[in-house]
């Protein structure tokens, strides 16, 4: 009995030690399921990297928003082209429901993801797409300055975790959607050194497919879990500015045009126990996660099938039979109406939410 008790105590102590060895330092703005409003993408920079120092260059607290997503690319140097506006038009917070919930979504100009979701689930999601052609660009996710530990590379590790799914009009194992995803500091230094060339950094559209009657078709339940360890370099003693670590995703703009990227998770974890590190390589695993999109379009009738919530749309006038809030598809509230009241809305898609139900409507 005493031996069993000691074994149990040892197991409990081991479990407690393992949990204490990790600390979630993910900015709140990256926990998408907790968000009610969408604020990405915050800013664009010219060239392959962000202007230094990052924190000041993106506007400090006013822009950081406890989790900033910024883009960079040579195209943004051309003031004659609305590249940044085109890119922002295709980014949104999308609720896929089921085990996935809300995701950061970026959709290429020619993606047919809405048609595919309607085909599979009978639901019109109206996920917005980029409004123009894009040149090369990268997406950057920044660690929180108040929680990021500094290291000389041999002490505190930071685990970076990315969970995503990709739709493409045509899936292909040779078509990169992300050429490389790795850790980098704001000055462009790669941590660990050379990690961007490690085996398996490229992510292809074909990874998110399944074989059906000899054809590779999109599998919305197949999610890639991509992890690696890195560190945030120590500052020079005379330098008081913060140099964060960031996850840099180098997008393949050619394949992105016909694709949609769903990001469920961007996570930073501080590891205080280095017994299990994945430095200089990548961990790639796949999880089966169901989605259950439930917002049904009211484009023709304004009525969600089988629902008590009813909307009538006459021109740009919307009337709802229940007390409800009205949101844009990116999550911004635009109106609150009482049962039977009408509201004037600009042309576009909206989500109406009563106390118990929600539906999507279109103002033409």
pLDDT tens per residue across span 220-257: 999 999 998 888 877 665 555 566 788 999 999 999 99
In this prediction, residue 241 carries a pLDDT of 59
Tell me the two tokens of residue 251: 């997008």
Give the range among 48-52, 213-217, 282-286, 307-311 with minimum mean pLDDT: 307-311
> Could you report the per-residue pLDDT of 23-41, keeping only the tens digit for each?
888 888 899 998 877 767 7
How many angstroms separate the CA atoms of 264 and 32, rounded?
Answer: 7
Q: Is 2 helix (H, G, I), strand (E, B) or coil?
A: helix
**Residue 275 binned pLDDT confidence (cut-offs 50, 70, 90):** low
Q: What is the pLDDT of residue 305?
A: 39
Selection from 297, 257, 261, 262 nearest residue 131 by Cα = 257
Nearest-CA neighbor of 132 among 150, 107, 159, 154?
Answer: 107
Residues 344, 228: Cα–Cα separation, whole Å: 49
pLDDT at 10: 41
Share of residues in the chain with pLDDT > 70 (%): 77
Torsion of CA 301, 304, 309, 315, to 10 degrees: -30
Tokens of 113: 């993801």
297's torsion region: left (phi>0), alpha (psi -120 to 50) or beta?
A: beta
CA within 13 Å, CB half, 97: 11
- pLDDT score of 189 more than 80: no
C-beta of residue 191 within 8 angstroms of C-beta of residue 262? no
Among residues 285, 287, 251, 295, the alpha carbon closest in space to that of 117 is found at 295
Is the CB of residue 156 less than 8 Å from the CB of residue 272? yes
Residue with tokens 């689930």: 121
Q: What was the pLDDT predicted at 237?
A: 56
Answer yes or no: are the C-beta atoms of 328 and 94 closer than 8 Å: no
The total of other beta-carbon atoms located within 10 Å of residue 45's CB is 19
The pLDDT of residue 191: 74
How confident is residue 297, by pLDDT bands cut at 50, 70 and 90? Answer: very low
Cis preceding-peptide flag for 41 (omega within 30 of 0)? yes
CB 290 within 8 A of CB 223: no
Q: Which residue has the higher pLDDT, 338 or 6?
A: 338
- Cα separation, 32 vs 43, in Å, equals 19
Spatial distance between the Cα atoms of 328 and 351, rounded to a whole number of angstroms:
6
Q: Residues of the chain with pLDDT > 90: what percent? A: 29
pTM of the model: 0.75
Both tokens of residue 87? 């890119």
Q: By three-state DSSP, how is residue 181 classified?
A: strand
């Amino acid at each position: 009995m005493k031996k069993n008790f000691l074994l149990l105590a040892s197991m409990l102590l081991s479990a407690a030690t393992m949990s204490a060895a990790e600390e979630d330092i993910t900015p709140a703005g990256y926990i998408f399921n907790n968000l009610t409003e969408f604020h990405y993408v915050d800013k664009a920079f010219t060239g392959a990297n962000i202007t230094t120092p990052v924190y000041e260059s993106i506007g400090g607290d006013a822009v950081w928003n406890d989790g900033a997503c910024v883009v960079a690319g040579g195209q943004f140097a051309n003031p004659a082209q609305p590249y940044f506006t085109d890119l922002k038009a295709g980014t949104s917070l999308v609720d896929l429901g089921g085990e996935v919930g809300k995701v950061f979504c970026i959709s290429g100009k020619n993606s047919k993801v809405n048609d595919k979701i309607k085909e599979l689930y009978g639901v019109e999601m109206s996920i917005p797409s980029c409004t123009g052609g894009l040149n090369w660009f990268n997406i950057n996710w920044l660690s929180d300055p108040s929680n990021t530990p500094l290291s000389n590379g041999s002490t505190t590790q930071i685990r970076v975790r990315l969970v995503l799914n990709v739709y493409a009009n045509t899936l292909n194992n040779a078509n990169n959607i992300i050429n490389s995803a790795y850790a980098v500091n704001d000055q462009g230094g790669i941590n660990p050194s050379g990690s961007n060339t490690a085996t398996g950094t490229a992510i292809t559209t074909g990874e998110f497919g399944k074989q059906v009657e000899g054809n590779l078709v999109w599998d919305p339940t197949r999610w890639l879990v991509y992890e690696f360890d890195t560190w945030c370099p120590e500052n020079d003693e005379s330098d008081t500015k913060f140099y964060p670590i960031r996850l840099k995703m180098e997008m393949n703009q050619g394949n992105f045009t016909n694709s949609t990227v769903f990001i469920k998770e961007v996570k930073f974890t501080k590891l205080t126990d280095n017994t299990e590190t994945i430095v200089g390589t990548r961990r790639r695993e796949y999880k089966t996660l169901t989605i259950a999109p439930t917002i049904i379009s009211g484009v023709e009738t304004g009525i969600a099938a089988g629902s008590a919530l009813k909307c009538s749309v006459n021109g740009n006038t919307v009337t709802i039979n229940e007390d409800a809030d009205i949101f844009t598809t990116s999550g911004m509230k635009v109106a609150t109406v009482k049962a039977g009241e009408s509201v004037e809305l600009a042309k576009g898609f909206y989500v109406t939410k009563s106390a118990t139900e929600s539906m999507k409507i279109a103002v033409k």
